[in-house]
Chains A and B, each alone.
Chain A
Amino acid sequence: MHTPNTRRARLVTGALMALTLTMTAAACGGDSEGASEDGKIKLTVATFNEFGYEELIEEYNAMQDEVVVEQKKAGTANEHQDNLYTKLAAGSGLSDIEAIEVDWLAALMEESDAFVDLSDPEVEGRWLDWKTEAATTEDGALIGYGTDIGPEGICYRADLFEKAGMPTDREEVAKLFTSWDDYFQAGRDFVKKVPDVAWYDASGATAQAMINQVEYSFEDQDNTVIAADNPEVKEVFDTVTSLADEGLSTRLVQWSEDWTATFQNDGFATMACPGWMLGVIEGNAEGVEGWDIANAFPGGAGLWGGSYLTVPVQGEHPEEAQALAEWLTAPEQQIKAFEAKGTFPSQNDALADPVLLESTNAFFNDAPTGQILAERAEAIEFIPHKGPKFADINTAFQQAIQRVDEGKESADEAWQSFLADVERLG
């Protein structure tokens, strides 16, 4: 008879044997990534939503023999962000070029070692100054090449304006939207005349637009959290929550099913409108007539969204990837992407391009959208500081406003719980 001990020892031996077998089999399965069959270098470009790169990549593949480029598209920005963070953390698995959204930039700047320094005399002065500055570290390393930006105008329903006895011509309407006070006053007048329709699409979106005009909103220069004591933040909160009581807001959450459905139900008359939003409105409001865009934004100018292309250091071919990123973000290419998907360029030369300036949008009453958005971009004087905690605090801020909208908390209670959330985020 065997003692239990020897039996256990054999069990372990057996298990080890099997483990070795499995490992050997797994090791044999590895393939050489990064090189395709005909000896060309394989590069991948990971983007989200619509960058308008499909035809550009075909063009790039056709014009040279050294690399083959493949695009990986994620359906949503969130999905792309989760993938990016996970693989950055793991240290492998990222594409040779990774697109990033401006809202994550601050958090990623803290990990700037993970990205190739893309600064190059060739591309100096290619982009709007603030676009490049935001992606430049203190040591002068540039971690991303700018793609698009999101200058905002105000989109409005001319037919509903007419119903309220307001001007409908986009030049006349623009005069109503010079300051937030004017904009809200026009809203009060509007809801008096047309009580079933709200003035803007969501309290959160309006609050976001206002916060984006505060240079230091939730964090100061040193990224110390100041959200709780910043009077400008409290003012935005008080303004937006009181306006909801006056009937100016739909009280819906942006991007929710109800918000999408409200485009078909005459739910609201105006909304903040970056270039990429034009396509969203056209899709959601299919068959609705009367949309137009005014060349104005309350408080001067506003930005919403915009992206960069980065080259993670974990890739095998950083030089080739950088060359590709440089080509993709050149003004000529960005204009083609704009024509394909409406992504508004961040490159100086592209902003002056006649293709951009002469483009019109039939759905928005043939408005010269290229010209309008280019002027909205020029009006931007600074971009707000967004530190590593910005996105988290902003989420808490938006949720507090939503709780008031939904009647779950009074404005005071919601502000108190927002303060508790900020405290929790540390």
Chain B
Amino acid sequence: MTLDSPAVKPVGDGGDPVGATTSPAGARPSLRRRRPSPWRRRLSRWDTRLSPYLYISPFFVLFLLVGMFPLGYTAWVSVHQWGLLSGQGDFIGLDNYARVIEDRYFWNALRNTVSIFVLSSVPQVVIALVLAALLDTQLRGRTLWRMSVLIPFVVAPAAVALIFGNVFGDRYGLVNEGLQAIGLDPIRWHVDTLASHVAIASMVNWRWTGYNALIFLAAMQAVPRELYESACLDGAGRVRQFLSITLPMIRPTLLFVIITSTIGGLQIFAEPRLFDTQGLGGSDRQYQTLTMYLWELGWRVRDLGMASAVAWLLFLIIIVFALVNLVVSRRVGALGGRR
């Protein structure tokens, strides 16, 4: 709410730039009177004050319709008995939440989600940073390299899941055949909990690392080159330059990527869902994530009330994680800057 700030006000008093756009071009010279009528002045002032809101309103209106409304409606559903087919039932307060929290599969799904999230987001951001730093150098055929890191992102998640499903097959998969060829034991990718998480995380990483690398690259290119030159003169090596200049300078982008990958990582669905033909995340639900758990409740058990409660709990969990990440990465960034 800085519309009263001096930076904006002179424009409004002049009445020119904004006012001109709303009146016919031919009428413009006649408007140049010494003293505009009070009515006109008021109109022009309103124009200046209101138009910015009007211009940005489409986004917020759409957000209200497709963002806030479902959020509110989900909360409404979550305090009722609500069957997928039978529809709205009685108001039951927080019973759905209590039932979700008492369900051992909720905690199982939460554990899996966090584990897959950590296994995917952390290597993803680190590798993307390194990749971006490499792409930021004077490579031959730079555009080719930069574009090619985006290719995995273009492939549909379902296709990725199908390919990786075969690569990580327990008995006849590519990875296991490779392991056996060099005399190692095959890994049961679909059975063992940690192995399945690694397999799923690698699908996610394969898809998102290049995308994040490009965002980092864009930020790195905005870092003034003089800084590197003077650091060079001071005798700083490549690694030191990266840690003391690049990282602190791209901190806002780093925060953005960390927050978005937190949100994405905690909502992971397609990859684990397609890793299992039954759709419940393995025989022991060893890789059932929260979104898969939500889907199971809503579409298999057909209890939309409980599913909505899970959706809200997931929303709160994501907020907590995003805040924690924000604080931690700010700290880390600040330390890096001080060095």
Contacts and interface: CB of A to CB of B under 8 A. Distances in A.
A18 B169 contact: no
A78 to B, nearest CB: 7
Contacts of A14: 50, 53-54, 57
B292 to A, nearest CB: 13
Contacts of A88: 85
Contacts of B54: 14, 17-18
Contacts of A18: 54, 57-58, 61
Interface in B1-59: 1, 4, 46, 49-50, 53-54, 57-58
Given A85-B84, A424-B103, A395 B171 contact: no
Which residue of A107, A252, A406 has the most chain B CB atoms within 10 A of its CB atom?
Answer: A406
B170 interface: yes
Contact of B170 (A254, A258, A398): A258
A100 B279 CA distance: 20
Nearest to A421: B105
B311 to A, nearest CB: 15
A44 interface: no
Interface residues of A, number: 47
A89 B304 contact: yes
Interface string B156-181: 00000000011001111100000000
Q: How large is the interface on B (under 10, 10 to 19, 20 to 34, 35 or more residues)?
A: 35 or more
Contacts of B299: 81-82, 85-86
A49 interface: no
Contact of A107 (B64, B85, B103): B85
A402 interface: yes
Contacts of B278: 253, 395, 398-399
B58 to A, nearest CB: 6
A108 B302 CA distance: 12
Interface of B is mostly: loop
A67 to B, nearest CB: 28
B186 to A, nearest CB: 11
B280 A399 contact: yes
Interface in A1-57: 1, 7, 10-11, 14-15, 17-19, 22
B131 to A, nearest CB: 30
B331 interface: no
A257 B161 CA distance: 11
A254 B283 CA distance: 12
A221 interface: no
A258 B169 contact: yes
B151 interface: no
B302 A85 contact: yes
A402 B57 contact: no
A425 B301 contact: yes
Interface in A382-404: 391-392, 395, 398-400, 402-403
Nearest to B45: A2
Nearest to A84: B85
Contacts of A89: 84-85, 87, 304
Given A85-B302, A111-B85, A392-B300, A406 B191 contact: yes
A262 B57 contact: no
A385 B84 CA distance: 23
Given A17-B54, A85-B85, A406-B191, A10 B301 contact: no
B172 A15 contact: no
Contacts of B107: none
10 contacts: A1-B4, A7-B1, A17-B54, A18-B54, A19-B64, A22-B61, A82-B299, A253-B283, A261-B172, A392-B300
Given A258-B171, A258-B173, 12 more contacts: A10-B49, A14-B53, A17-B54, A18-B54, A22-B58, A86-B299, A107-B302, A256-B190, A258-B169, A402-B283, A409-B284, A424-B103
Across chains A and B, which 4 residue pairs bring their CB atoms closest together, nearest first? A402-B283, A18-B57, A261-B172, A255-B277
